Amino acid sequence: MANLTDLGVADIRDGFRKGDFSARDVAEAFNAAVVEARPLNAFIVETPEKALAAADTADAARAAGALKPLSGVPIGMKDLFCTEGVQTTAASHILEGFVPTYESTVSAKLWDAGAGMLGKLNLDQFAMGSSNETSYFGNVISPWKGADGRDLTPGGSSGGSSAAIAARIVPAATGTDTGGSIRQPASFTGISGIKPTYGRCSRWGVVAFASSLDQPGAMARSVRDNAILLEAMAGFDAKDSTSLDLPVPQWEAGLSSDLRGKRVGIPKEYRPDGLNPEIAALWEQGIAWLKDAGAEVVEVSLPHTKYALPTYYIIAPAEASSNLARYDGVRYGLRDLPDGAGLQDMYAATRAAGFGDEVKRRIMIGTYVLSAGYYDAYYTQACKVRTLISRDFDAAFAACDLLLTPTAPSAAFALGEKQDDPLAMYLNDVFTVPASLAGLPAMSVPGGLDSSGLPLGLQIIGRALDEQGVLNAALALEQRAGFVARPEKWW
């Protein structure tokens, strides 16, 4: 039998049903892998007992003939999702020790579907970052190594999720995507990840960063595994005012790599001056693969793309500044109360000690653009440009069904390489942010390796609610790329 930790979601689900192994066998194998991989720092909290309890329930359910969709499948949970009775920190000191008394809607749906939890995965603090270097609990280290042996970023903010999947210590994991935080880490570590349409998955119980952008999604090693996980995660939730009251399609059953009759748009604005030639070559290869799958390829224009990053870095920090005002040391989490301090002193001391530098930077930017005298000049203008960006996509989709772009402007870079240059770091999201601003479904799949042997991803963007189209095009790319590369084990 293959090593159980080499199996993905579908393989575990199906093998367990056939009786090839027990759910407890699977949970014990992954629990051992999690312990062995601690040098990656992918987990903030390990929950082996939760994985075993779910496995025992699954084994009993199999014996009783009462299996659930994810019975026997253990997963990792990004530490942005509140988990009842298990510490939830958003990778911030200000929430260290916070143990929710409730379960997020997405995690509750996954447990109800039979999944088990291997632990809470590390991330950039409050999901603010593109390299997983802003966590209070330390950097996540990619299982991939640079040609010179340097430690690499697994991407961010869902870097713990991407590293754990690539290292085969979880078969799949949840992620959240505000401006690319599922897709960019997926590209950097050679896995797949999908951000669904805004509102497909409930945000209730997810620690908020930017409420009009945040969207939970799935991360796994294959397109099929993503479809399975997303099906279990999605659905209407009355507790989330932005949740879409729509039935959840059967995405796995609808998977097809036959793209005949589909038109795929190539946005000309996604070819900036100085585009990495290896990224450009992979993009051309992706175009050829989609043509081979039967798609017609057309050039389209998204003229306001050049304004997407500045628009995002006004709207997202503005919403963050509002959302993070709740962390004041009064009700939960960290409280720093200097001797003789008043209420305002406590607020200031708690936030100074509890928030990291990147979080403080974004709060200050957000507070500035929302302040009197600047609100209309910055925030209102950014909202107007966001509407123009969304209209660009509407116009493009009048001429095509899907869009193909690179996922990230480079392969994974070394830890520390861009930490002192926030602008260089923000540019990592240049290809992912536009779809986030428009609330569209988008997915990254691995397309190949660069000359240094590091993964590169391709991105499919679809119309609102067309996750099926995105998954199908991603499947066509996956089958033709035949990506089987994996990091050499060094941990």
What are the structure tokens assigned to 282, written together? Answer: 């992979």
> What amino acid is encoded at 200 in this protein?
R
C-alpha 248 chain-centroid distance: 20
Q: Which of 157, 161, 192, 257 is catalytic?
A: 157
CA 205 vs CA 105, 198, 202, 262: distances in Å: 6, 16, 8, 37
What are the structure tokens assigned to 115, written together? Answer: 């999944």
Q: What is the DSSP letter of 375?
A: I
E strand or H helix at 459? strand 455-462
Length of the chain: 491
User: Can you point out the beta strands (E) in 250-396?
Assistant: 263-267, 296-300
- pTM value is 0.97
Catalytic site includes residue 50 = no
Catalytic site includes residue 157 = yes
Q: Which of 71, 181, 222, 321 is catalytic?
A: 181
Give the residue carrying structure tokens 């990495």.
Answer: 276
What CATH number matches the domain at 4-259+442-481, 3.40.190.10, 3.30.1360.40, 3.90.1300.10, 3.30.930.10? 3.90.1300.10
Dist. CA 23–CA 43, nearest whole Å: 22
Catalytic site includes residue 222 = no
Low-confidence ranges of the chain (pLDDT < 70): 1-2
What confidence score (pLDDT) does residue 147 get? Answer: 85
3-state helix, strand, coil in the chain (%, to 5): 40, 15, 45
Q: Which of 50, 78, 109, 418 is catalytic?
A: 78
What are the structure tokens assigned to 406, written together? Answer: 């690179």
Residue 404 · residue 152 · CB < 8 Å: no
368, exposed or middle or buried, with CB in 10 Å at 0-12, 13-18, 19+? middle
What confidence score (pLDDT) does residue 424 get? Answer: 82
What are the structure tokens assigned to 418, written together? Answer: 């861009």
What confidence score (pLDDT) does residue 142 get? Answer: 98
Parallel, antiparallel or unpaired: strands 402-406 and 442-449: unpaired
